[in-house]
Structure 1
């Protein structure tokens, strides 16, 4: 029983690999290194003391996907592989539809050919769009306002249709809020290629001196301090949710339906609150400048989490201080990120 993890060298994929190995599961990773580095696989092996099976595969290469599924006799897939920057999706939507939608279609086709019908999909709270009410429940209307979110919703719809077509499919759709933090060892963490698109790695690179200042995209939102509010979740809590979902699918009794669950903390923090929290943790000043709003962003977004507890027996346990502390630990041990190696 081997689990295929797509995007396994990436930020969340690498942490999930550690979590699954420590739970006693056999895994194989694939990645094309479009936003990750091979050294993260070495770090996974250092943390776990296990050699990790890996194949360099592009998600859109259906024949290669099928070959990996057969070679390792995979019985399930955790699907992280995808492009994930909201702003980039606005400027380059075709790349997002190609990688996220077409790539997932080819993965599903390869799975069907190999009779592998258990899947956990990395979705996003962006599928909700501009919230009509908060906190966001799983039955909140969907209406993504950017191409990234639309690709996630398209894949969700594809998965629901697939689940409805054959009761043998067992599918979990996990809608993430904002993953942050790093493994407590400091060996793996978030290290995006190029200019960070997410808040926490940008803040941490300013704190470490890699960047001069943080760009705050708008301070005129209808929030307490005018900056955007998000639900930040520690990556270790997030991957624990995947482990719980992997177990839950074996007892998921609702044939013909995908299990859809929010993974968040239920608490929102503004950009400026995150800046101040990281300053306290790192004992560094975080210079920032306010710039124009970023296309596709919403004012506030945070989760209603009761369904995750009921369906998965899962609740986020780590708070903001631990998120900042573990991020700073990773940065201090890797001041130039993985690029130093």
Structure 2
């Protein structure tokens, strides 16, 4: 068992990974500045794990704060989530994304090097494949970017690879596809601020009556029902992948892996599954294609299975049911500070 620093550990994926790491027996310290997460998540994690959360409130851009985290804790490895992540927002605010995502990794790695901590699991993205031409997408596919967000993630991957040429870094790069769903307790889940960019949280807000309808961007793609294909993965499966990745790093094995199911789901298939979860119709309307969308994006997860023993356990209906349980719980006031 190890002592793990979890940057951005109060966020959506970070909070679920905290639970998974604790269940695996690791000791975990969370670093988060709560710029895109709620402080009441810490109370929820305390309830879920039955232990006090070791929390440091701070930013990965703050070298002094990072040095303080590493001093005296005996950190064995880092799982790095802290980053800005909205594709559309990155187009409007590219400099913020460069500073936080690239600068944050650089500052973190400098602090890690000073402390002699060489293991890091990096939260990457399938958007580093740009507009791929081969499906399912293998890790050997050409890399590209279509947004400042994707550019930052690809740049960070290259920083990690080149740093390992000079120092004894052991790195796990996990290229996520589309994380969805929530913990079975309905105590933690995805709670985006404002209008969501992603499909499932958008549907959830339509189901709650906070948004009038789901807009389906295009039904003339070269897929069976004409709507875009994506690879959705339950957030608890994704969290487990981080535990398995860190285990590999502790055994000295670096890797670059897709984390997805390998089974594409169309927008209309997801819409139908969410209707099953809420047991009623969900208003939707087909509109024109959205600029920048690609017709298909789904993983070849073979290498993750071979190198980590990772396989997704949850299906589409379980993803939707857990999402709906979470948003209903929030609608009923299951908040600590409300």
Give the structure 1 partner of residue 216 of structure 2: 216
Provide the C-alpha distance between the structure 1 equivalents of 2:271 and 2:151, rounded to a whole number of angstroms.
29
- The 8 Å contact of residues 60 and 106 in structure 1, kept in 2 or not, is answered as yes
Mapping of residues 1-341 of structure 1, within 5 Å: 1-166=2-167, 168-253=168-253, 258-335=254-331, 341=338
Q: Deviations over 1:155-210 (max 9, x none)?
A: 000000111212x2110000000000100001000001111111111111111222
User: How far apart are the structure 2 equivalents of 1:58 and 1:310?
Assistant: 35
Offset, 1:218: 2.9
For the residues of structure 2 that align with 1:214 and 1:71, how far apart are their CA atoms?
50
CA distance in 2 between counterparts of 1:315 and 1:292 reads 35
Unaligned runs of 5+ in 2: none
Looking at structure 1, the residues matched to 23 and 330 of structure 2 have their Cα atoms a distance apart, in angstroms, of 24
Q: Contact (CA 8 Å) 2:217, 2:287: kept in 1 or not? A: yes
SS at match of 1:274: helix
Which ranges in structure 1 are unaligned for 5 or more consecutive residues? Answer: none
RMSD over aligned CA atoms reads 1.6
For 2:220 and 2:101, locate their aligned partners in 1 and report how far apart those are by CA, in whole Å.
32
Measure the CA separation in 1 of the matches of 2:14 and 2:335: 15
Structure 1 SS opposite 2:55: strand
Q: Distance in 2 between matches of 1:293 and 1:340?
A: 40
Going from structure 1 to structure 2, the CA distance change for 1:89 and 1:338 (only over 3 Å counts) comes to farther
| Native 8 Å contact 1:87 1:294 kept in 2 | no
Q: Structure 1 residue 89: deviation in Å?
A: 1.2
Counterpart contact for 2:186–2:326, Cα < 8 Å: yes
Structure 2 Cα separation of the partners of residues 209 and 326 of structure 1: 18
Indicate how the Cα distance of structure 1 residues 24 and 199 shifts in structure 2: closer, same or farther if over 3 A, else same: same
Aligned mates of 1:218, 1:146 — CA distance in 2: 20
TM score, norm. by length of structure 1? 0.95
Quote the Cα distance in structure 1 between the aligned partners of 2:336 and 2:48.
19
Give aligned pairs, total.
336
